[in-house]
Structure 1
């Protein structure tokens, strides 16, 4: 075998290894982004669920959310940034997961604020003051004392928070938590597809995949 033939054969071998590696890589990459929706995905969005963003947006992020959860607080600006990135394509549906002791009262407050059209400012205030009303290891401050400047009629909200339909919201969301095997918060589904790995980047990647598929 002359030197030229030897070099050609080495080049062919290297190309073969390259293309074989690409063949192995593609299925793994496809598995990473191609996530199937959960079987009962239609039940992720209930008629009572608060919706942020366009009602008819083609990409739906469902967040199981505990207002007393520190991770939910940390993810809140991330979710808002995703909505700002895709203002016409993405909506967020909030599902309540009252895992922490102060959370039920906070959910009742949010639903009462919603009746007055004040859900968003009250939600922002609850997250801003979370260390005061949902602290770990010390007596919490009453959430009702932290609402000045939100425009909420507090006396009315306190009455409305006891309404039977709010109890129904809590009960239905608690049932769906079990149905979707939600163990912690925040738990996200994008167009019915669960995150395969928890984190900011997996959430952004799954949303981007769904938007680009439109």
Structure 2
């Protein structure tokens, strides 16, 4: 079962995101997510978006390509998006399982401006064994990517900013690990069923009044 809690903006790592307020004034909700934090989570131009980019609710997933539970969530997220035309899903690459995860995250993000992110993302989450340099590059070749161009893209500023911000945001909110899902003012940690994902999104809509 996933661990569920209401989001708290303050944490031991708050100094790293000093520009974000500890709380926002929102009398209708007892523990609201600050709007600055919501924008950082849901509207980061470096973050891949699946589903309806203009949808009325956003589900954010923090994940790692070497996280076994993240791999099991791939088809469920796809089903969720297919069944909810007003849902937008934001992916936050959060490599916490070592250098192989960092390499995979950089390689995947580098494909975003190439228009091949979803093929690379699905390939990495569906692969056998650990994501590391050799296996990541094997997936890249299967997807039809140029290795030299990919390696160059892995060093691009948007890739660096995305990964750095994922660590900062996760620390700021005290996330427990991957996968972590955020919707409305709520965060959950751990693998979820499709029904649980739908319930989380429904609560998010209720919280946001949509």
Q: What TM-score, normalized to structure 1?
A: 0.72
Pairwise CA RMSD of aligned residues? Answer: 2.6
Specify the alignment match of 2:41 in structure 1: 44
Between the two proteins, the alignment pairs up a number of residues equal to 176
State the shift of 1:149 in Å: 3.3
Alignment partners' CA distance in 2, 1:132 and 1:95 = 19
State the shift of 1:47 in Å: 2.6
For the 8 Å contact 1:63–1:187, the answer to whether it is kept is: yes
For the 8 Å contact 2:111–2:117, the answer to whether it is kept is: yes
Give the 5 Å matches for 1:15-26: none
For the 8 Å contact 2:107–2:151, the answer to whether it is kept is: yes
Q: What TM-score, normalized to structure 2?
A: 0.73
Deviations 1:158-188 (CA, angstroms, capped at 9, x unpaired): 1211223322221111111101111211100
State the shift of 1:124 in Å: 0.9
- Aligned pair 1:83/2:76, yes or no? no
Gaps of 5+ in 1: 1-33, 135-139
Specify the alignment match of 1:170 in structure 2: 163
Q: Secondary structure at the match of 1:77?
A: helix
State the shift of 1:43 in Å: 2.7
Give the 5 Å matches for 1:72-111: 72-87=70-85, 89-101=86-98, 102-111=100-109
Give the 5 Å matches for 1:12-161: 37-39=32-34, 40-45=37-42, 46-87=44-85, 89-101=86-98, 102-133=100-131, 141-161=134-154
Gaps of 5+ in 2: 1-28
Alignment partners' CA distance in 2, 1:108 and 1:204 = 30
Higher helix fraction: Structure 1 or Structure 2? 1
For the 8 Å contact 1:65–1:185, the answer to whether it is kept is: yes
For the 8 Å contact 2:59–2:88, the answer to whether it is kept is: yes
Q: Secondary structure at the match of 2:72?
A: helix
Change (3 A) 1:119 1:152: same
